[in-house]
Structure 1
Amino acid sequence: MDGTGLPEIRSTCPYCGVGCGVLLRPDGQGGMEVKGDPAHPANRGKLCSKGSQLGQTLGLDDRLMSPRIGARSAGWDEALDLVAERFGDTIAKHGPDSVALYVSGQLLTEDYYVANKLAKGYFGTANIDTNSRLCMASTVAGHKRAFGTDTVPGTYDDLEEADLIVLTGSNLAWCHPVLYQRIIAARKKRGTKLVVIDPRRTASCDGADLHLAVAPGGDVALFNGLLNEVSLRGKIDHAFAENVTGLEEALVSAAGDDLSATGLGEAELRAFFDLWCGTEKVVTVFSQGVNQSTSGTDKVNAILNCHLATGRIGRVGMGPFSVTGQPNAMGGREVGGLANMLTCHLDLENAEHRATVQDFWTSPEMPEAAGLKAVDMFRAVGEGNIKALWIIHTNPAVSMPDADRVRDAIAGCDFVVVSDVTDRTDTARLADVLLPAAAWGEKSGTVTNSDRTISRQRAALPPPGEARPDWEIIAEVGRRMGWGAAFDFQSPAEIFREYAALSGLAARFGRDFDISALAELSDAEYDALAPVRWPVSATRSGGRFFGDGRFFTPDGKARMVPVSHRAPVSGLSDARPFRFNTGRVRDQWHTMTRTAKSPRLSAHLPEPFLEIHPKDARALGLKPAALVRVANDHGAAILRALVTDAVRPGQVFAPMHWTGETAPSARVDALVPGHVDPVSGQPESKAATVSVEPFEAAWYGFAVSSRDLSPKAEYWTRTRTDAGYRAELAGLTTPANWEDFARDLFDTGAEVQAVEDPTRGIHRFAFTVNGRLEAALFISREPAAITRDFLAGLVGTDAPAALSGRAPADMPDPGPTICSCFGVGLNTIVAAIEEHRLMSVDAIGAQLQAGTNCGSCRAELGALLEAHLRPQAAE
């Protein structure tokens, strides 16, 4: 215990699928210290920048504290009675498939289980799907085609035992930094080779032995080329192939693919084939870049084919490895949270499986066919076929493809319930009923990470106001609809025991998922449960799958699936000449409901952007810091141009995090069409086609404020700072009076200082209260050349020089944040390099700590160092 007398609590980070253990120490005042758990097998005490700053995300300023019906507050009884009544009436009048649940990998496994039980067992509909459909559904489908079940064969330890690691469609350095650091440690210790396959040059390419800038959609052709080369070089493991069917058909299909579809040169292909064929201990890590495609399932099977043909699976240091993007994407898959699955990896369309689950639940009915997957679900909402919709812990009005149409569909639905921690999301604003849910740090249950390790999340803080855990909310609706016995849960431990017992029945059908040895845990044993990798049964515990050649298909053999290259559905044209890729940035998470609360996380890349190649920027006549309008038939976005050769000519990239709450013109999923993989139903989020043109603004602005602000302009983006907020603005129409504009922006009557030069289009205002800066606005005809990070730190201080827009000599400007873990800015790093003659990234870390925690900024540190040393070398 510390000085507050409050104990340290072991829990699990709520971000990506690495599943890092954390130690939580409440401060007794609603805050909490968060650090990595050295005893957790996933991270061994390490945390990434997001995990390190979890304490900054706990503020209650935007929390939903009580149920709401329409615009008014309501009690729980009234709200839950209304939900139960409307869902019950809708099912009675229009049938069970007129209702749907759309849930999230932010749910704990116990929450997920109760939601799935209510939908499939008691509503009688399979219309329950999850935002994991947008991330990992193609992996699920590929695993089932090859293995018979959705099984991840290996463990994180294989990353440290491999001699070659291939990252494909995965910017692991930014999206799963703790795993990436385990790889980097293995490279230093044992010389592990690293290949990165990605159309973009990302931080994961830093120091890689080979970067293959594959053409968008070229993955199947690449791995088919590898499979063909495996055969030609005599690398097929014929003994293991006795446990595999479809080998010959897959080889014929692979030989027929055209390697030109990869967009790679012969030397690059040869180097990759040499490494893969010449190295037995290979792990191929794949993620969204593979899955988010209309051929995502085929891409997964192309990878699996190479490992099955060579027997490089289920043994130490080798195998295909899917890494998940959400903390409980795996748990959701295990409970059957997808519309085409049953609990415990059972099959919805298998009559015996259905009967087993229905008998176990004693449920009145069970759907016999798959429900609507995410894209089709929201189309059905828009068409009026789904009349009651319950959305839990996700923001589909921003994150779904065709986001504008999805937003409009939700707005037009007869009855919409949203369970969330805040009412300030694009989706929550469309709800008929809002239900306040407990957040991370306030709820207890389990999550499963990417290598099948089940970990406890434990409550360290009480839920604020009237917020409740999700399982409790869902179960209460079930009770109010007349199914009291089935949903009479009193704790997460009770739910977990039921779920574990059902897994034992599933195992009798030859399923892989079995945690039946945990079905008799007492409440105390559940509370104390240490991380454990499934299966956990009377006959088996943890470990790898398939090294023994036994699979979960009817004949016990793996299936190699013949696949062929298919181009992305959206074709390039003169009107839409750019291939549009979307993804994540290092320090933000999904639609920023949590991470945007952290000033430190918001400081690294505070504005939505579009990466565009210098050649394309020149052709478009883009000026430095220009804004661009990106558009197609589905939507449009305004983004800041980031000119970089990290993307190839004709390709552009934008992050998907910004929303109507933080940058309404930068909702990039409005540009993504709803094309899906025919097997998995997963949307193609990385291959839309768009036009790009300069956004010809009449004026540009930058603002800082001690209070929240909602600008009125065609373009704006708002970011949290330590002292309040900062915002970028741009508009097409010049206001008649800039001071009036500023006062309206800040909603202030404070004293103002102004510097204006209308002939040059310069207008600067500083508002002070009792001599301290409350807000400031800088307007110009071009993007303002001011020290933004320095100005953001002046709010709340006596700042007589604020209107200069520059840091005075006696007040050093740290510059834009590079290392979010320790808050180290660019100017601080450059100064240290020069003053201390630093010659390596490790030397920067020793001097400033930058890059010594999660390491995800090391690529940027290396680029800064190279830029500084290059002129010296030329002298």
Structure 2
Amino acid sequence: MSLTRTTCPYCGVGCGVLAGVDGTIKGDPDHPANFGRLCSKGAALGETIDLEGRLLHPKVNGADTDWDTALDLVAQKFSAAIAEHGPESVAFYASGQLLTEDYYVANKLMKGFIGAANIDTNSRLCMASSVAGHKRAFGTDTVPGTYADLEQADLIVLVGSNLAWCHPVLYQRIAAAKDARPDMRIVNIDPRRTATTDLADTHLQIAPDGDIALFNGLLAHLVDGGKLDATFTGNHVNGVAEAISAARASNTADTGLTPHELNAFFTLWAQTEKVVTIYSQGVNQSSCGTDKVNAILNCHLATGRIGRAGAGPFSVTGQPNAMGGREVGGLANMLANHLELDNADHRQVVQDFWDSPTICTKPGLKAVDLFEACANGQIKALWVISTNPAVSLPDSDRVAAAIAKVQFVVTSDIMEKTDTNDLAHVLLPATGWGEKDGTVTNSERRISRQRAFLPAPGSARPDWEILSDVAARMGFSEAFDYQKPADIFAEYVALDTAASHIARDLDLSIFADADYAGLIPTQWPRNDHRFFVDGRFYHPDGKARMIAVTAPILSKPRFTLNTGRNRDQWHTMTRTGKSPRLGAHLAEPYVEVNPVDATDLGAAPGSLIAVESIYGRTLLRALITPRVAQGQLFAPMHWTRQRTTAGIVNSVTAPLTDPFSGQPALKSCTVTAQVYRAKWYGFLACINEPAPQTPFAAIAPTQTGWQVELAGGKMPVDWESEARQLCGQTGGDASIQTDPTIGSIRIAITQNGQITALFFAAPTPVVVSRTAIIDMIGTDTPPLTALAGRSPSDRPDVGATVCACFNVGRNTLLAAVANGAHSVAALGEATCAGTNCGSCKPELTALLAQAQLPMAAE
């Protein structure tokens, strides 16, 4: 079987993948981003390409229809809204999941032919503050360095970046570099102790939004210690004195760090020439995110530690094509090819090249503002493409209500049921990863091909084709007469050539004569290029700018909620949620709570916590851990209304945004917390997909069917009826065990001698072997044996999943420890755990420490 070279559709690392039609997935050893490595999500891609739940045909008001009917309606509704209310009355909301060719066509249609800039993207939630910070400092949105810098640095500073879980392959590259050069130092700056912290020599548990005070303090220390590069700043940087003055006004006590921690960090940074500062969502997703970015950039500019091997700031993007979107002007305040929307000359170049009837003249609505405009009736027609804003945006309940108010909503998606699709009038089936062709750009400016190795299912079409068909129906057929993605890429490169007289960082000339079909992963402007090595920047005077930034005055609420990602899940789980082994690691919405706070709240392991803000409420399982500081909570954002009845984390997050970038502040939200006292708690495993309506339910697929965590607000009158309703099974035989002393109930449903459902309930959180119960679904295990809630004697219980890549459970690992595997390497040799992406290695280390405590006590 032949394998197709393509690129992973998850984070911005941009890993090369070898993929086969049978679901075979391997890392591409020749791709310079990953050299064959894959994370757990990438390794499980083969488990996500089935057609279950796919949107296969256009739908209008819930009924299947043909493409002509659907596209005619979309074009008519958008054209009518524009004619009656003007171009500002329509909007696109797109995604970093789109390929560059899709992004380019959407941007061209909205900005050059509709004539408004109301196209924004979920990349606004990811890296908009980096864009704004780069442009303020450099004059353009430039990522200076390359991944090779991570291996050449002597000090890596990770700021607000859980690289081990969110960019695992980069984490592994750094871990390998540190193994090869033990003198390399790593500092992890994060309010929360994460898996990434285990690689670090130092963890600075900074206060939320304390980053500006920290890097302002560092800048002042660098100046006072004689580390200011006067020659570099004198020749190449403006705003130095003002930035230093602002830095001196900051109070480093606002960082939440001790004077000893601050001095050690400042000294280490000052004394190390080759420093790379990696930052991600902990910096960007803030009401002062742009200023955080510039506080970091100021330190690199002040010392000239930029544009050199192993030295410079490095923004790592969260989405596979966030960078490609930036290149083609995918955001509401950008123009294609890194040209400036607010520059009339730039607009004229683009309009002339496109030969378009109009061009937008002002920025459009950014994500949060766009959906506020939906709420107040300003937007009459909305097209959501490859994303799920009803879950992913802050104050998501209001966003869902806003979408529902829009007169006409169309979505392009691969899945039929999403929270956003449920609100749309027209659903358009798009091709997904493995079915579509195009390019993506990763965090180091490397353009790689995504290639199709599967046929388009049903009536699904590529996004660029859908957009072009609508454009043609709106009267713009000649400008959108593309026959294949290569035509769009060639036009994108040609626009760069047409604008070559305008000084910009973007230079696509290396692709002018490229063989699109055989395109190999290539950086622009050329491979291994580092920007700013010559001290030339992109402001009109050729100099960079240090920006005077002021640290915010931090409030100290009782609880602050920090949101983020799980190791094995992606965004709203429409793809990763299909893989049972990815869901097995952390299978329900949860909140990390410090042990002291848990005691104050009266929360025990397994308790449910109601987290509330002025915007909404969410119900989450308590994970009691010292990883979070007192007064801080952490919850991942992945669960949707398709998978939980109450665990929507963005129901409580605030629609507060950075004033420069428009990026929401998803990392620090004032909330309250209290224990939710359910009348009963339950666990259900069953062969068919359930649809529970209990106050708390979290649904996940398993290798044998489905599992559900449950909690009820009132005691059922008839437990058997409750169990049957929960699992959707009216037939079969029910075996019931009760224990009146503790009030527990256990029910097994069998059909034709096989277990089809197992239900366990009690007045307190249910303690059973979930792995063992799941494994018994679909087997001929005797009901009484199954109701024991543990593995039969002839089947070992592997325990809760630790390593998702190889589906290795905790009990398997403990057995290996008992048999002499007393190191992470030995565990890997015995079980394979930790030998692929390595993201579970911190958990392996913790397990070893716990397993050896009793021996140490003896």
Shorter-chain TM-score bucket reads over 0.9
1:560 maps onto 2:546 in alignment: yes
Residue identity (%): 58
Question: Following superposition of structure 1 onto structure 2, how do residues 62-73 of structure 1 map, counting pairs within 5 Å?
Answer: 62-73=53-64
Aligned AA (1:543): H
Aligned to 2:563: 582
Question: Following superposition of structure 1 onto structure 2, how do residues 35-74 of structure 1 map, counting pairs within 5 Å?
Answer: 35-74=26-65
The alpha-carbon deviation at position 48 of structure 1 amounts to 0.3
Among 646, 665, 672, the alignment partner of 1:665 is: 646
Distance of 2:656 and 2:199 partners within structure 1: 35
Secondary structure, in 3 states, of the residue corresponding to 1:512?
Answer: coil
1:773 maps onto 2:755 in alignment: yes
Among 509, 516, 529, the alignment partner of 2:519 is: 529
Among 264, 272, 289, the alignment partner of 2:265 is: 272
Question: Following superposition of structure 1 onto structure 2, how do residues 426-505 of structure 1 map, counting pairs within 5 Å?
Answer: 426-505=419-498
Distance of 1:109 and 1:790 partners within structure 2: 45
Question: Following superposition of structure 1 onto structure 2, how do residues 132-531 of structure 1 map, counting pairs within 5 Å?
Answer: 132-191=123-182, 192-241=184-233, 242-521=235-514, 525-531=515-521
Aligned to 1:742: 723
The alpha-carbon deviation at position 760 of structure 1 amounts to 3.6
1:849 maps onto 2:844 in alignment: no
Ranges in structure 1 where 5+ consecutive residues have no aligned partner: none
Conserved 8 A contact 1:662-1:719: yes
Conserved 8 A contact 2:510-2:524: no
The alpha-carbon deviation at position 517 of structure 1 amounts to 3.7
Conserved 8 A contact 2:193-2:627: yes
1:25 maps onto 2:20 in alignment: yes
Distance of 1:260 and 1:718 partners within structure 2: 44
Which moved further from structure 2: 774-783 or 215-224? 774-783
Distance of 1:138 and 1:712 partners within structure 2: 39
1:731 maps onto 2:715 in alignment: no
Aligned AA (1:556): G
Aligned AA (1:855): G
Aligned to 2:666: 685
Aligned AA (2:199): G
Question: Following superposition of structure 1 onto structure 2, how do residues 598-613 of structure 1 map, counting pairs within 5 Å?
Answer: 598-613=579-594
Conserved 8 A contact 2:394-2:664: yes
The alpha-carbon deviation at position 260 of structure 1 amounts to 0.7
The alpha-carbon deviation at position 623 of structure 1 amounts to 2.1
Aligned AA (2:166): C
Aligned AA (2:830): Q
Which moved further from structure 2: 779-788 or 738-747? 738-747
Aligned AA (1:204): T
Distance of 1:585 and 1:379 partners within structure 2: 29
The alpha-carbon deviation at position 758 of structure 1 amounts to 5.1
Conserved 8 A contact 1:217-1:567: no
Conserved 8 A contact 2:112-2:359: yes
Aligned to 1:550: 536
Conserved 8 A contact 1:11-1:24: yes
Q: CA RMSD in A?
A: 1.0
Distance of 1:44 and 1:507 partners within structure 2: 34
Ranges in structure 2 where 5+ consecutive residues have no aligned partner: none
Conserved 8 A contact 1:135-1:291: yes
The alpha-carbon deviation at position 746 of structure 1 amounts to 1.9
Aligned to 2:4: 9
Secondary structure, in 3 states, of the residue corresponding to 1:716?
Answer: strand
Aligned to 1:814: 798
Conserved 8 A contact 1:496-1:519: no
Aligned AA (1:681): G
Distance of 1:788 and 1:430 partners within structure 2: 35
1:763 maps onto 2:745 in alignment: yes
| C-alpha distance after superposition, 1:261-312 (max 9, x if no partner) | 1000011111111111111000000000000001000000000000001111
Distance of 1:290 and 1:567 partners within structure 2: 16
Conserved 8 A contact 1:498-1:519: no
Aligned to 1:862: 845
Secondary structure, in 3 states, of the residue corresponding to 1:767?
Answer: strand
1:840 maps onto 2:840 in alignment: no
Aligned AA (1:550): R
Distance of 1:733 and 1:423 partners within structure 2: 33
Conserved 8 A contact 2:419-2:642: yes
1:635 maps onto 2:616 in alignment: yes
Aligned AA (2:501): R
Conserved 8 A contact 1:532-1:542: no
Distance of 1:78 and 1:56 partners within structure 2: 34
Distance of 2:281 and 2:709 partners within structure 1: 30
Q: Against the structure 1 CA distance between its residues 386 and 184, is the aligned structure 2 distance closer, same or farther, given a 3 Å change threshold? A: same
Structure 1 stretches of 4+ with a deviation exceeding 3 A read 757-760
Aligned AA (1:713): T
Aligned AA (2:707): R
Distance of 1:747 and 1:473 partners within structure 2: 38
Which moved further from structure 2: 199-208 or 38-47? 199-208
Aligned AA (1:434): L
TM-score, normalising length from structure 1?
0.97
1:782 maps onto 2:771 in alignment: no
Aligned AA (2:800): P
Secondary structure, in 3 states, of the residue corresponding to 2:230?
Answer: coil
Distance of 1:518 and 1:189 partners within structure 2: 35
Conserved 8 A contact 1:658-1:664: no
Distance of 1:88 and 1:770 partners within structure 2: 58
Conserved 8 A contact 1:217-1:293: yes
Distance of 1:631 and 1:339 partners within structure 2: 32
Distance of 1:484 and 1:624 partners within structure 2: 61
Distance of 1:534 and 1:630 partners within structure 2: 45
| C-alpha distance after superposition, 1:410-437 (max 9, x if no partner) | 0111000000001111001100000000
Distance of 2:9 and 2:553 partners within structure 1: 35
Distance of 1:591 and 1:781 partners within structure 2: 31
The alpha-carbon deviation at position 542 of structure 1 amounts to 5.0
| C-alpha distance after superposition, 1:398-455 (max 9, x if no partner) | 0001100000000111000000001111001100000000000000000000000000
Distance of 2:773 and 2:432 partners within structure 1: 33
Secondary structure, in 3 states, of the residue corresponding to 1:617?
Answer: helix
Aligned AA (2:521): P
Conserved 8 A contact 1:601-1:820: yes
1:751 maps onto 2:741 in alignment: no
Aligned AA (2:801): T
Aligned to 1:614: 595
Distance of 1:462 and 1:383 partners within structure 2: 42
Aligned to 2:813: 829
The alpha-carbon deviation at position 759 of structure 1 amounts to 6.0
| C-alpha distance after superposition, 1:482-516 (max 9, x if no partner) | 10110000000000000001112333210111113
Secondary structure, in 3 states, of the residue corresponding to 1:174?
Answer: helix
Residues matched between the structures, number: 853
| C-alpha distance after superposition, 1:359-387 (max 9, x if no partner) | 10011111111000000000000000001
| C-alpha distance after superposition, 1:297-356 (max 9, x if no partner) | 000000000000111111100100000000000000000000000001111010000000
Aligned AA (1:771): G
Conserved 8 A contact 1:218-1:567: no
Which moved further from structure 2: 11-20 or 790-799? 790-799
The alpha-carbon deviation at position 664 of structure 1 amounts to 2.9
